[in-house]
Structure 1
Amino acid sequence: MQSSTIQLSVAVDLLKKTRDDIVSYRNTCFADALTIAKEICEAMSVDTVLKQKRLRTKKCHFSYECADKPVSDVLKRMETTFFNVVVDTVISSLNERFKTLGEVNEKFKVLLGFTDMSDKDIVDHCQILSNTLTHGGNSDIDGRELAMELQCLPDLPSKRMTMDFLTFLHEKKLTEVFPNLWVALRICATLPVTVSAAERSFSKLKLIKTYLRSTMAQEHLNELAIISVNIAVSRLSSYRMTM
């Protein structure tokens, strides 16, 4: 997921499959996890029986009809208070990430999935994409022209990925024939799946500008940050200069 070359639609599919697998795991796999835990305990010569603790009673407020009945089974309590809570937290996080990426992917999916769409759907999705790429009354692409370009596009390579699509247009010298598609694909290729690159940049910034370097100028800070982030390129350049 943190690869710089991963495509947005591929990331959405991976998140959807991961979410479905975890939902299935929550419903059926507590018993399997319990069996594996017992096998590990037996291999380590550890007692496999959970100790029963004294059940604590909670004070019932006046608005409650009756007090909650405590769960006496230790394994059932572990499943409801620990296992299900952890898995539900993971599912909730994936749903949030999947919702955000899914909305973005829905707006750009016409660029790669137009072969499975009708002409009317292509026009509608192209207009949605045009509205998405509009700022201050100016749009990067024309929705109607993009729909016409997609409908008149020649045969595509068998592997339809964003970078492969861009390479195909560049090698066939079709960038001027399909200008709106060329712009939309380049924008799609720059959509980040995660923010790991930005997080790494901020981590580098903390290492560069410490309290001992609080008076560092902006230009100097930018140059040190570029060198630190692209350390492999910097080392290669220094090696070539010494040869």
Structure 2
Amino acid sequence: MQLDVAVDLLTKAKTSLTNYRIGFTSAQVSAKDMCEKMNVEAVLKEKRLRSTKRHFAYGAADEPIADAMKRLEIIFFNVVVDTTIQSLTDRFKTLSEVRDQFGVLVNFQKLDDQSLNNQCDKLCKTLTSGNESDIDGKELAMEVKHLPSLPSDEMTALELLTFIHKKHFEELYPNLWVALRIACTLPVTVASAERSFSKLKLIKTYLRSSMGQERLSGLAIISINHEVGKDVLYEDIIDDFASKKARKQRF
């Protein structure tokens, strides 16, 4: 998934959960409808509250809630939704910061000249390692300003990259071409890396302990992209391999 698309989906999910936070009544109606479909009685059991004698203190605990529905809303519903919203904010905070650094690649049409130059310089510093940089910030700003008319005002990084590739504009906009390729290859999650390690245990068994690194990498790629591997014609590969390895025989 693309980085900018993932952040937009997460933002919409957070907004939806925030609106759902104050919609306990609608959630209650949905739960009753589900109970009717499942032939379950939609009634909360009233729990008998114990009354204990307490001495007055400023740090005393709150009085228990007698209403079962109100207790469900405060103790369970609000806690679950608040925890989910906070988890989204904490886990994907860095992802949003990275999206903001590459945001100039998709929001350049909404920026003025000064903001465009500042964000291009910021992206140039982000893509700098030591004294070498992948792009030039000033040239990137000039390339973005002189882009031809685009098919849509709101395009994702991948759509803009595809447009430049189809029009063969790689040499005309080299800095934009490099920046877009980097933005489109940024990982959204670490699921791919975790999947690689999980596949590695299935490939490199004790019977293959002497396997080389090149063969191990090749088998891992075939195992991860098994859907693509099913469409490969192995007979052609075998014939090609045999033709290169065949020894000439003199008659």
Same fold by TM-score greater than 0.5: yes
Aligned to 1:179: 174
- 2:56 counterpart of 1:46: no
> Do 1:16 and 1:98's aligned partners in 2 also have CA atoms closer than 8 Å?
no
- 2:8 counterpart of 1:10: no
Distance 2:56 2:235 in 1: 79
Aligned to 2:142: 148
Aligned to 1:223: 218
Shift of residue 85, structure 1, vs aligned partner: 1.7
- 2:203 counterpart of 1:208: yes
Indicate which of 115, 118, 126 corresponds to 2:120: 126
Distance 2:166 2:84 in 1: 43
Shift of residue 160, structure 1, vs aligned partner: 2.6
Shift of residue 149, structure 1, vs aligned partner: 1.6
Aligned to 1:3: none
Aligned to 2:187: 192
Paired residues in the alignment total 236
Shift of residue 198, structure 1, vs aligned partner: 2.0
5+ unaligned residues in a row in structure 2: which ranges?
240-251
What amino acid does structure 1 have at the position aligned with 2:146? C
Distance 2:54 2:193 in 1: 49
1:52/1:147 CA distance change after superposition, 3 Å: same
Distance 2:51 2:121 in 1: 61
1:217/1:11 CA distance change after superposition, 3 Å: same
Distance 1:214 1:62 in 2: 72
Query: C-alpha offsets along residues 125-176 of structure 1, whole Å, 9 cap, x if unaligned?
Result: 0010001001122111111111122122222232633233223333433322
> Do 2:14 and 2:88's aligned partners in 1 also have CA atoms closer than 8 Å?
yes
Q: Which stretch shows the higher mean deviation, 118-127 or 93-102? A: 93-102
Larger Rg: 2
Distance 2:3 2:142 in 1: 24
- Provide the identity percentage: 53
TM-score, with length taken from structure 1: 0.83
